[in-house]
Amino acid sequence: MNKFSGKCLCGEITYYASGSPVVVAQCHCEECRRLSGTGHTVGAMFVAEAVTVTGILSEYSYSSDKGSKVTKAFCANCGSPIYGMNTRLPDHLTLSLGTMDEASGLDVEVVIFERDRPHWDRLGEEVASFAEQPDWIPED
């Protein structure tokens, strides 16, 4: 069986997920943009009982435009977004793919709220691209 592990930026939160995600989705909705601080989130939805989280989480809840309650869970220490839950699918949670150690075999299967994608959120095919942080600094 597949086993996935992950952790937050500071390492206080660790998690394990077993089995295969129901779906891996990239979302450009306004909430996901504000949550991530960038143009989208990428999340892997698992059955909640397949996921074990260790550490102290902080939560924030809001109502979706369809009336369900959405809860986002963060590391209480460093603020990394760990997972989201939606009362529309109460037995599931969606792990932030960027917190996973190795998302072996996982790829984005669907893009949602594409209409809300900011124009600057795109792959760097048409701009300079570096494998690591370059020595380059912006000129003024």
The residues binding Zn ion (CB under 5 A) are 8, 10, 12, 27, 29, 32, 75, 77-78
Cβ distance to Zn ion smaller for residue 19 or 76: 76
Q: Which two tokens stand for residue 28?
A: 């450009």
If one counts every other C-beta atom within 10 angstroms of the C-beta of residue 74, the result is 19
Cβ distance to Zn ion smaller for residue 19 or 53: 53
In this structure, the chain runs to a length of 140
DSSP state of 119: T
Strands lying side by side in the sheet with 3-7: 3-7, 14-18, 51-54
Cβ 64 to Zn ion, closest distance in Å? 9
Cβ 60 to Zn ion, closest distance in Å? 14
Cβ 78 to Zn ion, closest distance in Å? 3
